[in-house]
Amino acid sequence: MAIKFFGQFLVERNIVTRDALLKAIEMQERTNLKLGEMAVSVGYITQSDIELAHNAQMSKDMKLGDLLVEMGLLTLNQLNDVITRQKNTHLYIGEALVQVGALTTEGLQQYLQEFKADQSQYVSEGIELPGGIANSRIWEMAADLTYKMITRVLDLQFRPGKGELVTTIDSNFMLAAMDLAGDMDARYLISVSEGLQKSIAKAILREESVDSEPAEVLEDTVMEFVNVVCGNISAKASQMGVILNINPPVTIRPPAAGLPVPTGHMAICFPIHIGDDEKMQLILLIKN
Amino acid sequence: MKKVLIVDDSLSVARQLERIISESGDLVCVGHAKNGAEAIKMNHSENPDIICMDMNMPGMDGLTALRTLSVMDKDVKVVMVTSLGGVGDKFTEALKLGAKNVISKPFEAENVLRILREL
């Protein structure tokens, strides 16, 4: 029901053992050279060049390859050659599992098909963002995954509104937020009205009625929904080559005038239309 | 009956897991810790067979607690229950630190029970 990588899918279904997967991952780690290691192995640079670049990375936010080129230690052609060699020699986890004897080649093909079918429910259908937003494919994925989780986890019928840039985050009964950090920094927020908070609580707790639940538990269910969505956003981002770490979720009670978007940030607000009396929004507060 | 300790800062996740475990018939929940440090204390006091632990918690997180538990108690079996299960690096790190399996959120009751019963 969640975004997974292939090795996890196989262990969860008891197709391969945990120990076999670890053996295959160790083989991958020995085979799949990092960019610096590959550049050294073909003789373009030395180990001391890598150390120089790593020291420079402490004061410059650049990828190792770009930095090696900027420092004149590697040419652009050499960098492209190293990246091509990395791609051509990459050992995928499925192939590694065949090599350690945990899967047959035929089994690998069959399970890859099953894995693709399992994960196809999370393939993005395309979300339109306002123009000029950096890393738009990540934020489109975040919005798309939110919609899919509203359907699958909360079992709510809704109509997604168009994402628009806002300068104030509207007031609502509560907001649950989670900070995303890594290759980009942002805050993911879900804003819900009181009735929707109860709908979310019923779905998460799997209870017919939540009228007797304390406010703390009702708030926690919205935070847990945010946690589930953001964890899956982090997983999908890592499949797209982007690191997005998550922090524990928090609750915000916005003032009646709403929350102004802080300087140095932009906010995209996606209205989620559920009913006339209820209000739900997804807000992506992205650091410029 | 196998004894299970739940470790999660979320009250709602703890409620979901407690229900799944209590309805299983062959597993019993012996407590709920809200972070890694509490988990280490309750592992000592409750002596569970299995620990179901979240990764992302305030205070001591799940992977730090797993590292400590793997050294302190060779018998307890730890399963990570996390929304980060699909992040390959996190999954691999958990297995390398000694986790027996990783369950991704959102989870299904039958999947949770199958994995816990296999331990």
Domains and CATH numbers, chain A: 6-121 (no CATH), 126-287 (3.40.1550.10)
pLDDT in tens, B25-53: 999 999 999 999 999 999 999 999 999 99
The pLDDT score that the predictor gives to residue A157 is 86
Q: Mean pLDDT of all residues in chain A?
A: 90
> Which member of A8, A216, A239 has the closest CB to residue B11?
A216
Which residue in B12, B21, B61 sits closest to B40, CA to CA? B61
The mean pLDDT of B99-117, rounded to a whole number, is 91
Q: Are B100 and B92 in contact (CB under 8 A)?
A: no
- Judged against a pLDDT cut of 90, whether residue B112 lies above it is answered with yes
In A83-217, DSSP assigns E strands to 159-160, 164-166, 168-169, 174-182, 186-192
CATH T-level assignment (fold) for domain B2-118: Rossmann fold (3.40.50)
- CA angle at A83 for the pair A78 and A88, rounded to the nearest 5°: 120
Rg of chain A in Å (alpha carbons):
23
Rounded Cα–Cα distance for residues A209 and B24 (Å):
23
Of residues B12, B101, B108, nearest to A204 (C-beta)? B12
Which helix (DSSP H) or strand (DSSP E) does residue A8 occupy? helix A6-12
Q: Check if the beta carbon of residue A201 is closer than 8 Å to that of residue A224.
A: no
Residue A132 pLDDT = 81
A72: left (phi over 0), alpha (psi -120 to 50) or beta: left
pLDDT of A110: 95
What is the predicted pLDDT for the residue at A127?
A: 79
pLDDT at res. A125: 64
Interface test with B, best of A15, A224, A247, A250 (most B CBs within 10 A): A224
pLDDT for A123 = 61
Nearest CB neighbour to A5, from listed B12, B86, B115: B86
Residues from chain B that touch A216, judged by Cβ atoms under 8 A, are 11
> How many Å apart are CA A258 and CA A223, to the nearest integer?
20
Cis? peptide before B106, omega within 30° of 0: yes
Per-residue pLDDT reduced to its tens digit, A39-74 = 999 999 999 998 888 888 777 777 889 989 999 999
- Residues of chain B with Cβ-Cβ distance to A227 below 8 Å are 10, 56, 83, 105
Q: Which residues of A touch B100 (CB under 8 A)?
A: 18
Q: Which residues of chain A have pLDDT under 70?
A: 1, 121-126
- Please choose, from the candidates A2, A14, A6, A73, the residue with its C-alpha nearest in 3D space to the C-alpha of residue A44: A73
Predicted-assembly ipTM surpassing the 0.85 threshold = yes
For position A174, what pLDDT does the model report? 94
Q: What average pLDDT score do residues B2-7 get?
A: 96
Q: Which of A139, A160, A164 is nearest to A150 (CA)?
A: A160
Question: Is residue B57 within 8 angstroms of chain A, CB to CB?
Answer: yes
Task: Check residue A134 and give its pLDDT.
Answer: 86
For residue B111, give the nearest of A12, A153, A223 by CB distance: A12
Chain A residues closer than 8 Å to B110 by CB: none
**B110 in contact with A at a CB cutoff of 8 Å?**
no
Contacts of B47 (CB under 8 A, 6+ apart): B3
Q: Which long-range contacts (CB under 8 A, 24 or more apart) does B61-65 make?
A: B61/B35, B61/B36, B62/B7, B62/B36, B63/B90, B63/B93, B63/B94, B63/B97, B64/B36, B65/B7, B65/B35, B65/B36, B65/B37, B65/B39, B65/B40
Which pLDDT belongs to residue A122?
A: 65
